Copies of this chain bind each other. A is one copy, B any other.
Amino acid sequence: MAFDGDDTLWHSETYFALTQQRFTALLSPWCDPGETADRLLTRERDNLQSFGYGVKGFALSMIETAIEASGGSIPSAALGEIVDWARQMMDHPVDLLDGVEETLDGLQGRYPLLIITKGDLFHQESKVAASGLVERFESVHIVSEKDPQTYGRIVAGLDLTSPDQFLMVGNSARSDIEPVLAIGGQAVHVPHDITWALEHAKVTPEVPVLEHLTDLLQLL
């Protein structure tokens, strides 16, 4: 049984959303909030193939958006603030979601537990270490993309007779559910309050959707 990290075990999108609020305020002399959001999302989507996921790419996308949206008139010191926000996000202590420890306690010894988390290697390793959860997991897999190939490779390395013995628990339909179903695995969806627009996807009806991670114990 594998768990996603960001917004399944610990908070992540909350900090992106808070930073984006500060960014919206910074750009308010030039853009209304809707335009800022649209411009940033477009820039993030374009940059994804060059910079990948994570805080540093987010910061670089905000900087480019700010220059473009202000027609180059934003003072460079304001762009320095954006780098500061990135540093704060990277250094932020890890906040576990409610019920995570209780849920893992209930699963301990019943199934081998894995973490499969996507994004910046350095930041994800820091978060895994700071979570205090690492001893509860048999292995931790930090990957650059969660596609069927990635899951296929991880599942092939496990001692399973069939991929349907693999269960993934996560908040992102696009990253935690769809590619797992594609390789014949099982998935449980525990949506988070906030989901990044680039992670939106439809969840197939046969996948259990839980309101809280603790509901997992009852489902199993």
Contacts and interface: CB of A to CB of B under 8 A. Distances in A.
A83 B63 contact: yes
Contact of A51 (B56, B68, B144): B56
B56 A91 contact: no
A79 B67 contact: yes
A75 B75 CA distance: 7
Contact of A74 (B76, B86, B123): B76
A92 B50 CA distance: 10
19 contacts: A47-B87, A50-B90, A51-B90, A52-B120, A52-B121, A56-B60, A63-B79, A63-B80, A63-B83, A64-B80, A64-B83, A67-B77, A67-B79, A72-B80, A76-B76, A79-B79, A121-B121, A121-B142, A125-B144
Interface in A53-86: 53-54, 56-57, 59-60, 63-64, 66-68, 70, 72-80, 83, 86
A52 B122 contact: yes
Contacts of A143: 121
Contacts of A51: 56, 86-87, 90, 122
The interface size bin for chain A is 35 or more
Interface in A88-123: 90-91, 120-123
Contacts of A50: 87, 90-91
Interface of A: 47, 50-54, 56-57, 59-60, 63-64, 66-68, 70, 72-80, 83, 86-87, 90-91, 120-123, 125, 142-144
A80 B67 contact: yes
A72 B72 contact: no
A67 B77 CA distance: 6
Given A120-B120, A121-B142, A67 B76 contact: yes
Nearest to A53: B122
Contact of A60 (B76, B83, B120, B123): B83
Nearest to A70: B76
A170 to B, nearest CB: 19
B56 A66 contact: no
A86 B60 contact: yes
